[in-house]
Amino acid sequence: MELRQMEYLVTLADEQQFTRAAAICGVSQSGLSASIRSLEEELGVSLFHRTTRRVEPTDAGHALLAHARTILAQTAAARDAVERTSDQPTGTLRIGTEQCLGVVDINAMLERIHHRHPLVELHYVQAGSHELTARVRDDSLDIAFVATGEHLGTLDRTELGQQPLVLLVHPGHDLAGGDAVTWSELTDQDYIDFHDSWAIRSLNDDACGAHGVRRRIRCTVNDVHTLLDLVHRRLGVAIVPQHVAGKPQAAGLISRAMPADAPRWTVTAITRSDSDASTRRLLDLLRSESLAAA
């Protein structure tokens, strides 16, 4: 058994399809399939039930999966232990975050890192959570702060906090009154939402789809302030994380709670599990700063 096979096993179990798992692991589908098949031959058991639609772990697969996750975690911990023996950290840290993420003050965190560890060169970008996840996976970012749990595979993750979603409407809108909005009230409304690279768009699409809510997306934006301005101009309603409703630009808009079974906005720091020693040293520092700022 090899460490790479453990990574493939965990990713395939999480994604339940070879195509997506192979993309996350950065290998061809045939390469991932051959590696899993080789592991099955070595152990003399079938690790996955395969159908035309998805794959699921067998009992043997579940038994190995628990150990595979432990092996990957212990490998990362061993790497961390070695890098902690080094002195003042140096090098470059490439950081990405979704705009107006909430939960953690990214700018304040970067300021503390810059002043406490001046030999660390910081590179910082903003993008949607799905794009950031792909960039961590392909090693063009060292760490990203995202609000998605989709397709993370074996990426290391640290949850930083959660917020509820709320509905923002103009005070003259029909939905401006009342406490928590119902799913039925949300159907057949005009919406302002973000591009599908943003985590909130996937969260909204999935939640509304699961409850039969039909949405007319009239405006698609890539900027929080533009979204708020369009709600002010009565061009639609918007489902957003609670902290967006507290921005000065949202003053005058009505915020209604979402149904009790609505998903929550969850902010997570993600990194590759195979980062080199110097990078992982910096990631530890950054994780501790982000948790302090949460």
- Residue 70 in tokens: 């432990």
| pLDDT tens column, 166-225 | 999 999 999 998 889 999 999 999 999 999 888 899 999 999 999 999 999 999 999 999
Task: Say if residue 145 is in the same domain as residue 270.
Answer: yes
Task: Say if residue 8 is in the same domain as residue 20.
Answer: yes
User: What is the Cβ-side half-sphere exposure of residue 13, based on CA atoms within 13 angstroms?
Assistant: 21
**% of the chain at pLDDT higher than 90:** 43
Phi-psi region of 26 (alpha: psi -120 to 50; beta: other; left: phi over 0): left
Is the pLDDT score of 151 beyond 90? Answer: no
pLDDT at 206: 93
pTM greater than 0.85 (yes/no) = no
80-86 LR contacts (CB < 8 Å, sep 24+): 80/280, 80/284, 82/277, 83/277, 83/278, 83/280, 83/281, 83/284, 84/281, 84/284, 86/277, 86/278, 86/281
| pLDDT tens column, 255-272 | 999 999 999 998 888 888
Task: Say if residue 139 is in the same domain as residue 180.
Answer: no
CATH of residue 135: 3.40.190.10
Of 15, 50, 83, the one marking the end of a domain is: 83
Given a contact cutoff of 8 angstroms between Cβ atoms, the answer to whether 161 and 113 are in contact is no
Task: Say if residue 192 is in the same domain as residue 273.
Answer: no
Secondary element (H or E) of residue 145: strand 143-146
3-state secondary structure of 236: coil
Evaluated on CA atoms 135, 138, 140, 142, the torsion sign reads positive
Task: Say if residue 124 is in the same domain as residue 260.
Answer: no
Secondary element (H or E) of residue 257: strand 254-257
The segment with the largest mean pLDDT, out of 14-18, 84-88, 196-200, 216-220, is: 216-220
Task: Say if residue 157 is in the same domain as residue 239.
Answer: no
Given a contact cutoff of 8 angstroms between Cβ atoms, the answer to whether 34 and 93 are in contact is no
Angle at CA of residue 134, ends 130 and 139, nearest 5°: 145
4-8 LR contacts (CB < 8 Å, sep 24+): 4/35, 5/35, 5/36, 5/38, 5/39, 6/68, 6/71, 6/72, 7/72, 7/153, 7/154, 7/273, 8/32, 8/35, 8/36
Phi-psi region of 223 (alpha: psi -120 to 50; beta: other; left: phi over 0): beta
Cα 205–chain centre separation: 16
Average per-residue pLDDT for the chain: 86
Task: Say if residue 69 is in the same domain as residue 42.
Answer: yes
d(CA 244, CA 218): 20
Task: Say if residue 147 is in the same domain as residue 200.
Answer: no
Of 83, 104, 120, the one marking the end of a domain is: 83
| Range(s) of the domain holding residue 71 | 3-83
Within 10 angstroms of residue 251's Cβ, the number of other Cβ atoms is 10
Given a contact cutoff of 8 angstroms between Cβ atoms, the answer to whether 238 and 221 are in contact is no
Average pLDDT over residues 153-162: 82
CATH of residue 37: 1.10.10.10
Task: Say if residue 241 is in the same domain as residue 275.
Answer: no
From 88-92, 120-124, 128-132, 226-230, the region with the lowest mean pLDDT = 88-92
Task: Say if residue 125 is in the same domain as residue 250.
Answer: no
Task: Say if residue 184 is in the same domain as residue 255.
Answer: yes
The total domain count for the chain is 3
pLDDT at 148: 80
3-state secondary structure of 265: strand
Phi first, then psi: give them for residue 202, nearest 5 degrees.
-65, -40
Of 83, 101, 126, the one marking the end of a domain is: 83
Closest CA to 10 of 76, 82, 97, 98: 76
3-state secondary structure of 79: helix
Task: Say if residue 150 is in the same domain as residue 287.
Answer: yes
The residue type found at 47 is L
Is the pLDDT score of 283 beyond 90? Answer: no
CATH of residue 177: 3.40.190.290
